[in-house]
Amino acid sequence: MAISGKSFFAAAAVAAGLYHLAPTAREKYSYMLSTRRVRSMKAGAGSGTGTGSAESAGNSAGDGAFGATEEKKVIYLTFDDGPGEHTLELLDLLEEYDVKASFFVVTEFVEKYPEAVIRMKDDGHLVGLHSWRHRSALLASGGFTKESFSRSMKTLKKLGISPKLYRAPWGEINRETILQTDRLGMERVYWTVMAEDWRGGQPANVTAGKLLARTGPEDVICIHDGRGSNDAPARTIEALKMVLPVWKSEGYEFRTLDQRECPVRG
C-alpha cells in the first residue's frame, strides 16, 4: 500500500515529536510517578503528608499541618522563575525565619536583578540554573538549548556562581538538555510539591492552604519568586508569611537541595 507524501510527513512529525518528548517522559514523568507511589504508601501506613483541606488550612494557618512521623523533619524550599522585583523582599523574609532555600534562576532576569542573586549567594542559599529564557525544551531546538546553557553560564560566572543543579522550565527536557547538563557536571532535579502559586487569581491564603495540606517530611516544594500572573510572586510571599511560622512551630528545618540525602530525580 502506497503512503502519500502528506501521510509520510505527518508520520515523520509525530516521530520527531515523540523523539523530542522521550527524555522528559523517561526522566520527569517516571520520577513523578515513583514519587506519587511513595506518597501513597506513606499515606497507607498512616504517616501522611499533611492534613485538612487547602481552604481550611489557608484560613487557619496556625492549626498545624503534620502528623507524627519517623522521617526527618526537613523541607526543601525551592523557587523558580526569578529573580524578580519581589526577590529581595523574599530574601528578607527567609532571613527573618532563618530559612535556607534553593533558587533556580532565569538568567535574562539575573542580568536585570544581579543584586538579588548576589544576595542569595551571600545569604547561604543555593543558586541553580532554570534557563536563559523561560521556554519549554519540548518547543526548543537543540541549538537554542545549547545557546541557553552557554549564555546562562557566562552570566552566572560574572557573579562568581557555578551552578551544579539544573531544573528545567516545567521540568521538560530534550536530548540537548541531557548533553549540556552532563557536559557541565550538573544534576537535573525536580520537585514533589507544587501549589499553583503562579495563577493570577489565586489568593495567598489558598496558596498557603495548599502548601500546608500537601507538604510533609523530605518534600521538595516548588514555588516562584518571578513571573506569574497579576503580581503572583507578591502573593507567594504573603502565603509564606502564613506557613513559615507553622512549619517552624512543628519543628521543621530547611535545607538546600545539595544537602539532600535521597535523590531529587529518578
- For residues 140 and 165, the model is more confident at 165
Express each pLDDT in 105-126 by its tens digit.
Answer: 999 999 999 999 999 999 999 9
Distance, in Å, from the CA atom of 58 to the CA atom of 88, rounded to the nearest integer, reads 24
User: What is the grid cell recorded at 263?
Assistant: 535523590
Q: What is the mean pLDDT of residues 146-175?
A: 96
Using the predicted structure, report yes or no on whether residue 215 has a pLDDT greater than 60. yes
Which of 212, 214, 198 minimizes the C-alpha distance to 242?
212
Check if the beta carbon of residue 196 is closer than 8 Å to that of residue 173.
Answer: no
* pTM over the 0.85 mark: no
DSSP assignment of 148-205, as one string? HHHHHHHHHHTTT----EE--GGG---HHHHHHHHHHTPEE---SEE--TT-TT--HH
- For residues 63 and 81, the model is more confident at 81
Question: What pLDDT, on the 0 to 100 scale, is given for residue 33?
Answer: 65
pLDDT band of residue 138 (cuts 50, 70, 90) is: confident
Question: What pLDDT, on the 0 to 100 scale, is given for residue 181?
Answer: 97
Query: Hey, what amino acid is at 18?
Result: L
- Domain-wise residue ranges, the chain: 32-259
CATH number of 32-259: 3.20.20.370
User: What is the grid cell recorded at 179?
Assistant: 548533553
pLDDT band of residue 67 (cuts 50, 70, 90) is: very low
pLDDT band of residue 261 (cuts 50, 70, 90) is: confident
Using the predicted structure, report yes or no on whether residue 183 has a pLDDT greater than 70. yes
Using the predicted structure, report yes or no on whether residue 78 has a pLDDT greater than 50. yes
